[in-house]
Amino acid sequence: MNLQPHPEAEARFNELAEDVLAKIEEVSPESLRTPKPRFEPDTFVSAHLTEKDIDNITHLGTFDPLSMETIELMFHAEPGTRAFKLGRQGSGDFDKLAARIAATAPFRNISTRKRVRTLAIDWLSARLGGTNKEPLVGYLLAAIRPAIQRFTAIVPIAYLIVEEELPFGRVTFKPLGAAFFDAMAQQRGQMTDANHRALYESQIQEYRKKRQGYAGAFVEIEGDPDYAREHSIDEAKHATAMLRFLSPESQLPEACSYMTPVDLLPAPSYDVWLQEPGDASPTTHLSGIPVPPPEPLKLDKDTVPELRKHFALDSLSHIARGVELSRFEKSLEEALLLFSKATATPSPSEKLVFALVALESILLRNPTEPIQQTVGDRFGFLLSKVAAERQELSKLFKSCYDLRSSFVHHGRNPSDLELLRRFLAMAWVLLVQLLKNHRAFASKDHLLDYLDSLKYA
């Protein structure tokens, strides 16, 4: 891995960093902590930590939610010693500089924006404290390089069950069975402290309750630990979004797929406490999940070959991998990700909007084309060779577009769920057909030229 930034970019970043340094002013050390009392909710201690709970705090920022900017940044050269402050302009310049560095090679491929920003604050503190004279970029690389290594990140996936290893896109889905958690539990034998062992055992037990039996996305990553964590979750989210296209919920108006990295989208549940007149506190507790409960996507040894044969699983995996894609394949990936959003909501209105936007993204040449007539005709021509069926399919698209307009412009939810179910099913079939023929077209325009030639033949 090349860890050397472009010389001109490095020089410019170092120059901007010196400009930020010149805007810093010294303040009293007591001003680092926030003196103004703030409302703090009565939550359980582990759920609400503030700077008062942290010893040796090194920096504190004041954030403006309206402008999305840091108003001022205050920090110590060393904890408890001299303190410094950057005003609004300087803090804004600092945040922009840190973001630009994090988005530039090699940093974007080895670390995170948050990590780069934190290290840049450490650099400011070290320069002001007289313990460092190194330019910013060199300081950042020296701090990040030792932490870079290869990781296999494992991200648990809710509501996905695989019987055996399934390579898909840039991840590999594997079952997280009892043996996986048994191997984790064996690490407790290396712990000498009894309290640590007990805590670790309880954590493993919680892991088992939530995750055992489901799949995990295994991601090969090189970078620092922060990058490995963020990048692995991003990769898992992308892979599950693409795979959700094959879930039954993609065609059911009121069904929702909860297949996603665990805890990002928890399945719906409810708790109700009943308090009777005269009671000082609730005496009855009711809890549960919706009926019917969410169903996981189960990919066993029999299902996977069928998905490969009939529903283009390998083509979907190729596009999810994202390597050397044609312009058409990139357009198709965008449409699939949009359609996948329809699987992750139980709202018929939202499903309708996402499905229509997905089709428009792949079947509309430019913003000036009339949507209903143009996309409706292409919708019909892609799905049938029979003239009467094409007309019916075009009418189906236009009817659903009218439902969409009623929702978007007048807030009316679609009442004809059977119409929506037929539309979702046909939209899904259309995208499967494009997946099966993803190598037949060089670009979206190539596809649309082909459809127009059929229409006017």
pLDDT digits (tens, 9 = 90+) for 203-229: 888 888 888 999 999 999 999 999 999
C-alpha 403/C-alpha 180 separation (Å) is 48
For the residues 341-362, what does the mean pLDDT come to? 94
Tell me the pLDDT of the chain averaged across its residues: 86
Examine the domain organization and report whether 332 and 367 are in the same domain: yes
Examine the domain organization and report whether 92 and 183 are in the same domain: no
Q: Evaluate whether 243 touches 259 at the Cβ level (below 8 Å).
A: yes
Q: Which residues, 6 or more positions from 418, have their beta carbon under 8 angstroms from its beta carbon?
A: none
Q: What is the pLDDT of residue 372?
A: 92
Residue 437 neighbours by CB distance under 10 Å:
15
Q: How many domains does the chain have?
A: 3
Residue 420 has pLDDT above 60, yes or no: yes
Which of 407, 406, 241 has the alpha carbon at shortest distance from 338? 241
Residue with tokens 């108003």: 71
Residue 96 has pLDDT above 60, yes or no: yes
Q: Evaluate whether 60 touches 75 at the Cβ level (below 8 Å).
A: yes
Q: Given pLDDT bands bounded at 50, 70 and 90, which one contains residue 63?
A: very low
For the segment 67-94, what is each residue's pLDDT rounded down to a tens digit?
Answer: 444 446 666 555 556 777 888 888 889 9
Q: How far is CA 401 from CA 129, 223, 276, 356, 373, in A?
A: 64, 46, 50, 7, 11
Among residues of the chain, what percentage have pLDDT more than 90?
Answer: 60
Examine the domain organization and report whether 126 and 254 are in the same domain: no
Q: Given pLDDT bands bounded at 50, 70 and 90, which one contains residue 64?
A: very low
Examine the domain organization and report whether 13 and 123 are in the same domain: yes
Q: Which residues, 6 or more positions from 39, have their beta carbon under 8 angstroms from its beta carbon?
A: none
Domain boundary among 115, 147, 179: 147
Q: Given pLDDT bands bounded at 50, 70 and 90, which one contains residue 146?
A: very high
Largest CA-CA distance found in the chain, in angstroms, rounded: 82
C-alpha 119/C-alpha 117 separation (Å) is 5
Among residues of the chain, what percentage have pLDDT more than 70?
Answer: 85
Examine the domain organization and report whether 78 and 118 are in the same domain: yes
Residue 149 has pLDDT above 60, yes or no: yes
Examine the domain organization and report whether 247 and 364 are in the same domain: no
Q: Is 287 helix (H, G, I), strand (E, B) or coil?
A: strand
For the segment 35-56, what is each residue's pLDDT rounded down to a tens digit?
Answer: 556 666 666 555 444 444 433 4
Residue 77 lies inside a defined structural domain of this protein? yes
Q: What is the pLDDT of residue 68?
A: 43
Q: In what order do the strands lie in the sheet with 69-76?
A: 25-27, 83-86, 69-76, 59-64
Residue 115 neighbours by CB distance under 10 Å:
23
Residue 302 lies inside a defined structural domain of this protein? no
Examine the domain organization and report whether 237 and 329 are in the same domain: no
Q: Given pLDDT bands bounded at 50, 70 and 90, which one contains residue 309?
A: very high
For the residues 413-418, what does the mean pLDDT come to? 88
Examine the domain organization and report whether 65 and 103 are in the same domain: yes
Choice among 19-28, 76-85, 199-208, 434-443 with the minimum mean pLDDT: 76-85
The total number of residues written for the chain in this structure? 457
Phi, psi values for residue 286, rounded to 5°: -120, 135
Examine the domain organization and report whether 167 and 138 are in the same domain: no
Examine the domain organization and report whether 418 and 333 are in the same domain: yes
Q: What is the pLDDT of residue 49?
A: 44
C-alpha 244/C-alpha 250 separation (Å) is 8
Domain boundary among 103, 131, 147: 147
Residue 310 lies inside a defined structural domain of this protein? no
Which of 336, 340, 254 has the alpha carbon at shortest distance from 294? 254
Domain boundary among 99, 118, 147: 147
DSSP state string for 198-212: HHHHHHHHHHHHHHT
C-alpha 232/C-alpha 212 separation (Å) is 20
Q: What is the pLDDT of residue 16?
A: 95
Q: Evaluate whether 367 touches 419 at the Cβ level (below 8 Å).
A: no
Residue 391 neighbours by CB distance under 10 Å:
14
Question: Which string of b and e fits 306-335 if b means at least 16 CB within 10 Å?
Answer: ebeeebbbebbbbbbbeeeeeebbebbbeb
Strand residues in 113-257 grouped as ranges (E): 149-158, 160-162, 166-168, 171-175, 215-223
For the segment 254-303, what is each residue's pLDDT rounded down to a tens digit?
Answer: 889 999 997 665 567 777 888 888 887 787 777 777 666 678 999 999 99
Helix (H) or strand (E) holding 288: strand 284-288
Residue 12 lies inside a defined structural domain of this protein? yes
Examine the domain organization and report whether 121 and 181 are in the same domain: no
Q: Given pLDDT bands bounded at 50, 70 and 90, which one contains residue 425?
A: very high
Residue 50 lies inside a defined structural domain of this protein? yes
Question: Which string of b and e fits 147-177 if b means at least 16 CB within 10 Å?
Answer: ebeebebebbbbbbbbeeebebbbbbbbbbe
Residue with tokens 């060089």: 442
Q: How distant is the alpha carbon of residue 423 from its chain centre? A: 28
Residue 271 lies inside a defined structural domain of this protein? no
Range of the domain at 118: 7-147
Q: What is the pLDDT of residue 15?
A: 96
Examine the domain organization and report whether 60 and 71 are in the same domain: yes
For the residues 344-356, what does the mean pLDDT come to? 94
Residue 27 lies inside a defined structural domain of this protein? yes
Q: What is the pLDDT of residue 39?
A: 65
Residue 296 lies inside a defined structural domain of this protein? no
Which of 210, 213, 219 has the alpha carbon at shortest distance from 161? 213
Q: What is the pLDDT of residue 214?
A: 94
